[in-house]
Amino acid sequence: MRVSDFGLAEFQKRIEGKCGTLNYMAPEVIKCQQQSYSVDVWSFGCIVFEMLTGQYAFNDEDDGCLEKKICSGSYKMHDKIPISATTLISECLQKIPSQRPSTKTLFFHTWIVDTTEEAEKKRKMEDINKVLGKNALKSDTANQWKRNNKSAMKDSGKGESSDAGRKTTLRNKPKIDYKE
């Protein structure tokens, strides 16, 4: 995923005044109060909500009504959003900027970490499948295969390899002379 439209981005400056798309504006932007990085956290919460539901967290035909909804923090969480994502969104959409998590804290949020770990597992399984020439070796199938083979190895008395304690070193590699 790529997030774009950074035409209003500023490096380490505070901005005052309204700028941006109303549906993603934090309450302090609407009220023309001093802004900090917490407005980006608010917008991130709005984007995650929209990605998971296909709808804006805050929406109304009338801009005045939309501003009131945003400033009151009035939005409806959908049932189809996972619980960990629900907590992320609700933390990001706090009306008081100081109560929102920092961007650094967001990197370690359960929903982001779990999603990242699951994606990494999936990528590794795809790499293994490519090497083995298999179509789709599911992680559950791989885990079951490991369990079955581990117990079979123990039953046959071959649980440990004779090379288990041996260290691999580069000492025995042939020396290559690169001089011509």
Annotated binding site for ATP: 5
DSSP 8-state secondary structure symbol assigned to residue 113: H
- Contact between 93 and 85 under an 8 Å Cβ cutoff? The reply is no
Q: Which residue has the tokens 């929406």?
A: 59
Give one word for 144, left, alpha or beta, with left for phi > 0 and alpha for psi -120 to 50: alpha
CA-CA distance, 136 to 142, in Å (whole number)? 10
Q: How far is CA 111 from the centre of its chain?
A: 6
CA-CA distance, 3 to 13, in Å (whole number)? 21
DSSP 8-state secondary structure symbol assigned to residue 72: H
Binding residues: 5
Residue type at 56 in one-letter notation: Y
* Count of other CB atoms within 10 angstroms of residue 163: 8
Q: What are phi and psi of 157, to 5 degrees?
A: 80, 10
